[in-house]
């Protein structure tokens, strides 16, 4: 049975003090939750302070992005090596905001998946279609291309360090959630695709998270679907009162 994972992507929000205050609240509110992996992804500037605040707790630390080199002349960038050094265990790659605003393409995202996993960290690889693509009936083609290209050259063994997040672009920050049925359909498609690429064992073990306007009142329906193994939460991860009930609905 796959263990559920609920991650909060804080995007470009929270000062260091605010970030530490939020994880301190989460530590208290989630003290009795031992059957769900809980991960927070603060901005780069808050990573060190949050790492210190969650040291010795089951909370996991993620970065929201990385640059796929170890060190070097890459002004303004941060490598998986440096993220590991600060205490990260996960790195989100290929988020739709990075694809859209920063023109990140699948081959660049593929380099990030390789760099993150080479460092022994878990890559949370985001995929998802736009509304235009869904309306044109291209959802599965888009998902297949994103997965195949972003995971090119990744072995079945390395797939143990990959988590997929299905985030339909039209559901991010819009208040429009995919119905549990629509999300399950996409997740099933992704798992079947991964089975074809990497075999039954990898497909059965990999966690596929759903992201896009996840809230306390829709989390239960989404998280109870057979192929939905957790959530990547944006807006509703910024306050403990919103995030905590989502995590609790991930309990078995």
Active site residues: 95, 167
Q: Does 93 bind ligand 13P (CB under 6 A)?
A: no
- Name which position in 68, 80, 234, 250 contacts ligand 13P (CB under 6 A): 234
- Name which position in 213, 218, 244, 249 contacts ligand 13P (CB under 6 A): 213
Q: Does 219 bind ligand 13P (CB under 6 A)?
A: no
Residue 185, burial from CB neighbour count under 10 angstroms (0-12, 13-18, 19+) = middle
Hey, what are 57's tokens?
């707790």
Q: Does 212 bind ligand 13P (CB under 6 A)?
A: yes
Residues numbered 8-37 forming contacts with ligand 13P, rule: CB under 6 A: 9
C-beta of residue 232 within 8 angstroms of C-beta of residue 7 = yes
CA of 91: how far to CAs of 60, 125, 178, 188, in Å? 11, 8, 24, 24
- Name which position in 42, 94, 168, 235 contacts ligand 13P (CB under 6 A): 235
Query: For strand 4-9 and strand 230-233, is the pairing parallel, antiparallel, or unpaired?
Result: parallel
Q: Does 58 bind ligand 13P (CB under 6 A)?
A: no
Query: What is the torsional sign of CA 148, 151, 152, 158?
Result: negative
**106/167 with CB nearer ligand 13P:** 167
**DSSP assignments along 164-211, one per residue:** EEE--GGGSSSS-PPPHHHHHHHHHHHHHHHHHHH-HHHHHH--EEEE
Contacting range for ligand 13P; rule: CB under 6 A; set: 113-121, 127-135, 150-158, 167-175: 167-175
Residues numbered 103-162 forming contacts with ligand 13P, rule: CB under 6 A: none
- Name which position in 154, 203, 232, 247 contacts ligand 13P (CB under 6 A): 232
Q: Does 68 bind ligand 13P (CB under 6 A)?
A: no
**166/203 with CB nearer ligand 13P:** 166
Residue 175 CA to residue 206 CA, distance in Å, equals 27
Q: Does 211 bind ligand 13P (CB under 6 A)?
A: yes
Residue 98 CA to residue 105 CA, distance in Å, equals 9
Binding site for ligand 13P (CB under 6 A): 9, 95, 167, 172-173, 211-214, 232-236
């Amino acid at each position: 049975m796959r263990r559920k994972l609920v991650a909060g992507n804080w995007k470009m929000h929270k000062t260091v003090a605010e970030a530490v205050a939020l994880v301190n609240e989460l530590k208290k509110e989630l003290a009795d939750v031992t059957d769900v992996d809980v991960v927070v992804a603060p901005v780069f500037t808050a990573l060190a302070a949050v790492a210190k605040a969650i040291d010795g707790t089951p909370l996991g630390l993620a970065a929201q992005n990385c640059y796929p080199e170890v060190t070097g002349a890459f002004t303004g960038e941060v490598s998986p090596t440096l993220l590991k050094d600060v205490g990260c265990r996960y790195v989100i790659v290929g988020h739709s905001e990075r694809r859209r605003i920063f023109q990140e393409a699948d081959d660049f995202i593929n380099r990030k998946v390789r760099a993150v996993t080479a460092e022994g960290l878990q890559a949370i690889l985001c995929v998802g279609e736009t509304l235009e693509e869904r309306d044109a009936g291209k959802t599965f083609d888009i998902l297949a291309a994103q997965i195949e290209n972003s995971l090119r050259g990744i072995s079945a063994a390395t797939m143990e360090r990959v988590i997929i997040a299905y985030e339909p672009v039209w559901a991010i920050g819009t208040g429009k959630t995919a119905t549990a049925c629509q999300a399950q359909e996409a997740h099933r498609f992704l798992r079947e695709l991964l089975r074809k690429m990497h075999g039954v064992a990898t497909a059965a073990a990999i966690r596929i998270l759903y992201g896009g306007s996840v809230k306390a009142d829709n989390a239960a329906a989404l998280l109870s679907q057979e192929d939905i193994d957790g959530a990547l939460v944006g807006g509703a991860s910024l306050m403990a009162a919103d995030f905590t009930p989502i995590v609790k609905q991930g309990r078995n």
